[in-house]
Amino acid sequence: MRIAIASSGLGHVTRGIEAWAADLGQALLERGEDVILCQGAGQCQASHQRLVPCYTRDSPQAHRLRGWLPRFLGWRLGMGSGYGIEQTTFTWNLQKVLRREKVDILHVQDPQVALLIQRCWRWGLLRTRPILAHGTEEPLDFQRRIVYLQHLAPWHLDEARSAGVWKPTWTAIPNFIDTETFRPSATGREDGRLRAELQIPDQALVVLSAAAIKRNHKRVDYVIGEFAALRASRPDLPLYLILAGAWEADTDALVAEGTQRLGDRVRFLVRFPRHRMAQLYRTADLFVLGSLKEMMPIAILEAAASGLPCLVNAHPVMQWMVGPGGLSLDLSAPGGLSRALEQLGSDSDRRRQLGQLARQYCLEHFRRDRVVDQILQYYQFVAATPPSRGQK
């Protein structure tokens, strides 16, 4: 079976989707599978990688095309946004690669790519059956159009079933994490080089949040506000906040706001290199995520595998991901995060206990080999499904 993992943003965007594609492609390669990894930009560094040119979302070509297309037509064609143009132009060249390399299974998280390739398969233009790993919060009306859909958490699959939107060709398989790369420090904390680089004292307690630096969804402004409230009430706690993530339209404003409110107690790491993220987690003492709802963020798995207590909103998916290794809080109200940070910031034994539980729970449920076994079983199921069944 020939497999393709694809991401239009791979090579020029740093998000969970791109990390998922790169990690899954590498995991399948190491398992001896016949796999190629298709990326929308950048340089191919290995023989299994394929560059699939496209109009990347922020490119001059995408801006010109978006301006040229009438608004109603752009959205109808799936090109009403920069990301939509990127996915559509990526798919145009991707289908050529899939045909040339006789790919049987395509696995993506880009929803428009999955839908367009599915049309090609249904029309008999491709032999490739696409699987959408649903990580982008597409509405149920979109989900019902997808034949092979991987929900990332059982809760999402149950939600679709309760709404009457379900197919026997769907599954629920989580994201995974390389627990050898993301692991606690043997000495309990990183050796201090990154702290020295960031000018953070060795005795400080570091709170880390890894997410796109934006207000909407990731609610970085909420995290800043809660940290500022805690600093005002407990200036004796040696807490530092690190916010690491991709640049967004409101990132610069958030950096200015955070610096103004927190001064020397905050560090913004915009576009921090992914190959250094494991070191960053080992530098921290606590992990927080300000979003109220998530599909299944890889950052929580990275933090848990690194032995960090995780503070998240009390949403079923994040509660399930964290398990006994953290605290599920009401982050919709002021004080929800600051009170928990104060409690854990003053209790090293509790932090240590939660960190150990986080690591163990992650090993039991989300380690790479366990999840990749499930993915390969699903590939076999998809490949064996009679064509007439998949095209109803």
Asked whether residue 353 is assigned to any structural domain, the reply reads: yes
Based on the domain organization, do 119 and 251 belong to the same domain? Answer: no
Whether 112 and 209 share a structural domain: no
E strand map for 247-341: 266-270, 286-288, 310-313, 326-329
- CA pair distance 387, 104, nearest whole angstrom: 13
Phi-psi category of residue 36: left, alpha or beta, with phi > 0 → left and psi -120 to 50 → alpha: beta
The pLDDT value given to residue 82: 87
Mean pLDDT taken over the chain: 93
Instruction: Output 12 or 2, whichever has higher pLDDT.
Output: 2
pLDDT of residue 390: 47
Torsion of CA 315, 319, 320, 326, to 10 degrees: 160
pLDDT tens-digit series, residues 322-336? 999 999 999 999 999
Question: Is a pLDDT exceeding 90 seen at residue 68?
Answer: no
Q: Which residues contact 119 (CB under 8 A, 6 or more apart)?
A: none
Query: Would the pLDDT of 14 be above 90?
Result: no
Give yes or no: residues 21 and 113 share one domain. yes
> Does 187 map to a domain?
no
For residues 122-136, give the mean pLDDT. 95
Residue 173 pLDDT > 80, yes or no? yes
Instruction: Look up the domain containing 237 and give its range.
Output: 193-366
Lowest mean pLDDT across 297-301, 332-336, 353-357, 384-388: 384-388
Does residue 185 or residue 308 have the better pLDDT?
A: 308
pLDDT tens by residue, 348-379: 999 999 999 999 999 999 999 999 999 999 99
The pair of structure tokens assigned to 45 is: 């560094």
Residues 35, 111 share a domain: yes
Residue 70 reports pLDDT greater than 80: no
State the pLDDT confidence band at 392, using cuts at 50, 70 and 90. very low
Q: Are 121 and 226 contained in the same domain?
A: no
pLDDT reading at 79 higher than 80: no
Residues 146, 32 share a domain: yes
CB 12 within 8 A of CB 42: yes
Q: For residues 106 and 253, state if they share a domain.
A: no
Residue 167 has pLDDT above 70, yes or no: yes
Distance of alpha carbon 61 from alpha carbon 54, whole angstroms? 9
Residue 220 predicted with pLDDT over 70: yes
- Which pTM does this prediction carry? 0.90
The distance in angstroms from the start CA to the end CA of the chain is: 24
Dig out the tokens for 64 from the structure.
Answer: 């010109």
Give the pLDDT band of residue 157 (cuts 50, 70, 90).
Answer: very high
